[in-house]
Amino acid sequence: MSSFVNSDQIRDLFSQSMSAMYRQEVPQYGTLLELVADINRATLERNPELRQQLQEAGELDRIDVERHGAIRLGTPEELATMRRVFRVMGMHPVGYYDLSVAGVPVHATAFRPVDDAALRINPFRVFTSLLRLELIADPALRAQAQEILAQRRIFTPRALELTRQCELEGGLDAEQAAEFVHEATQTFRWHSEATVSHDTHQLLLAAHRLIADVVSFKGPHINHLTPRTLDIDAAQAEMPRRGVAAKDVVEGPPRRRHPILLRQTSFKALEEAIVFAGDGAAGAHTARFGEIEQRGAALTAAGRALYDRLLGQVRSMGNAGSTGNDYEARLTAVFAEFPDDLEAMREQQLAFFRYAVRDPAALARAAASGAGFDLAALLREHIVQARPIIYEDFLPVSAAGIFQSNLGGAEQKSYASNAAKELFEAALQAPVADEIALYAQSQQASIDAVRSAYEALQPA
């Protein structure tokens, strides 16, 4: 007999706990949540077809709970332990993001649920970056940062104990799960007491603002939480009306009839009061912000290559992301090459789709005729339908844009492109999953299910 709480439920509790904490720490996040809830409600009222689609896909319920967060870790040990802690909640490392290209000295993965059922319950994901100390040029500063980081303990002893217990016994009971969520949440709390002196903070800031953010504190404070909107342009327009200063442009693809991948906007990081170690001098730190996102179809490798090529084209036109109207016009013009039609996207295999029986009676008739399984024919006859699979991951260029707009100042340090997936996986002590393979699996599983239904109805 097992009285273990499902890991999906633990994740659901954790995402609620994080949201409640961030709402307290950053009140503007509460404003953002209300704004997104209002816009989602209005969008669904205006668009009953979208409502029905989300309902059929089992996605309507997840919209309100849906969000992602981001943290920045300092050492390989922190990353490896974080993987074990997230695993208790059914969150696994997916994808590798190299942000050094954009002058941000980190690489990252996203911890998230991977199977369809888990994603429907609560898709909470955490974009998790690891600082690359080897990219700090000054050896003395590098050594100092390393020494500071080696001394901190970002998990509570009880969180580690419960993680170990879950690993050994295969789960946690209700009481342990509640305690685990409480303990795990502590890791992401804001601490206004820096662990470094004013002088050290200055040195770290000069190396890179992000380095200062990671190295100067007791733990990896959650730096933003992002609710999912159904209309990001409406959200972007509404932000200033509610006193939230939005960044200039929405990152990602342009507005389309059929959204693809991910579009994101954010408000600038707040200046928060901190106290330095040593003399207790007062200072300020800007790192924490708010973000909104809209999710669309997951793209195949071919679709993603087309997206990357078009985005590259827009950005090479200069002034990328700097001037709102102009940038949007260029983005829209260049992306005209990406078909905005579900049939074309499916036929050209640019996006992943989930197939489902739409008309069971007609399926039974087709099967009874004795004809072999022909997916294309069933689609043509509207017996089977294909709906885009939602993108559950992140985009490195967008992530870099979000990083940059929130680091303050015109930070444009450049590091050479420097992907180091193997180093990252060594730190993680596990491989990261390939997101494209996960979407392909989902698509194939849906086709297999339709085929089995069909074959079960065929005459023996």
What phi and psi values does residue 122 have, to the nearest 5 degrees?
-165, 110
Residue 75 binds: one of ligand OOG, Ni ion, none (C-beta under 5 to 8 A by kind): none
Our CB check for ligand OOG shows the closer of 131 and 363 to be 131
Please list every residue from 274 through 293 that binds Ni ion, using CB under 5 A: 291
Shortest Å distance, C-beta 89 to ligand OOG: 18
Which residues form the interface with ligand OOG (CB under 6 A)? 70, 72, 127, 129, 223, 264, 291, 394, 398-399, 402-403
Shortest Å distance, C-beta 396 to Ni ion: 12
| Tokens standing for residue 54 | 């989300």
Please list every residue from 199 through 238 that binds Ni ion, using CB under 5 A: 226
Rounded to the nearest 10 degrees, the angle between the axes of helix 174-186 and helix 157-169 is: 140
Alpha helices in 319-358 (DSSP H): 324-334, 342-347
Tell me how crowded residue 280 is: count the other CB atoms within 10 A of its CB.
Answer: 10
Please name the helix (run of DSSP H) or strand (run of DSSP E) that holds residue 15, with its range, or none. Answer: helix 7-25
Shortest Å distance, C-beta 394 to Ni ion: 7
Shortest Å distance, C-beta 72 to ligand OOG: 5
Our CB check for ligand OOG shows the closer of 339 and 396 to be 396
Evaluate whether 167 touches 84 at the Cβ level (below 8 Å): yes
Residue 109 binds: one of Ni ion, ligand OOG, none (C-beta under 5 to 8 A by kind): none
Residue number closest to ligand OOG, CB atom: 399
Our CB check for ligand OOG shows the closer of 122 and 129 to be 129
Residue 307 binds: one of ligand OOG, Ni ion, none (C-beta under 5 to 8 A by kind): none
Shortest Å distance, C-beta 434 to Ni ion: 21
Binding string, 43-72, against Ni ion, x = CB under 5 A? Answer: ---------------------------x--
Our CB check for Ni ion shows the closer of 263 and 330 to be 263
Our CB check for ligand OOG shows the closer of 264 and 446 to be 264
Shortest Å distance, C-beta 264 to Ni ion: 6
Give SS3 for 252: coil
- How far the first Cα of the chain sits from its last, in Å, is 41
Residue 72 binds: one of Ni ion, ligand OOG, none (C-beta under 5 to 8 A by kind): ligand OOG
Evaluate whether 283 touches 276 at the Cβ level (below 8 Å): yes
Question: Which residue, among 397, 188, 398, 189, has the nearest Cα to 293 in the 3D structure?
Answer: 398
Count interface residues toward Ni ion (CB under 5 A): 3
Q: How far apart are CA 446 and CA 356, in angstroms?
A: 7
Q: DSSP letters along 384-451, please? A: EEEEEPBP-S--HHHHHHHHHHHH-TT----------HHHHHHHHTSPPB-HHHHHHHHHHHHHHHHH
Our CB check for ligand OOG shows the closer of 122 and 265 to be 265
Contacts 24+ apart (CB under 8 A), 268-272: 268/405, 268/406, 268/408, 269/223, 269/406, 269/407, 269/408, 270/26, 270/28, 272/190, 272/192
Our CB check for ligand OOG shows the closer of 231 and 378 to be 231
Shortest Å distance, C-beta 397 to ligand OOG: 9
Residue 129 binds: one of ligand OOG, Ni ion, none (C-beta under 5 to 8 A by kind): ligand OOG
Q: Which residues pair with 351 in a beta bridge?
A: 299
Our CB check for ligand OOG shows the closer of 131 and 177 to be 131
Our CB check for Ni ion shows the closer of 70 and 366 to be 70
Shortest Å distance, C-beta 247 to Ni ion: 12
Shortest Å distance, C-beta 182 to ligand OOG: 24
Question: Which residue, among 119, 133, 138, 144, has the nearest Cα to 58 in the 3D structure?
Answer: 119
Query: Which residues contact Ni ion (rule: CB under 5 A)?
Result: 70, 226, 291
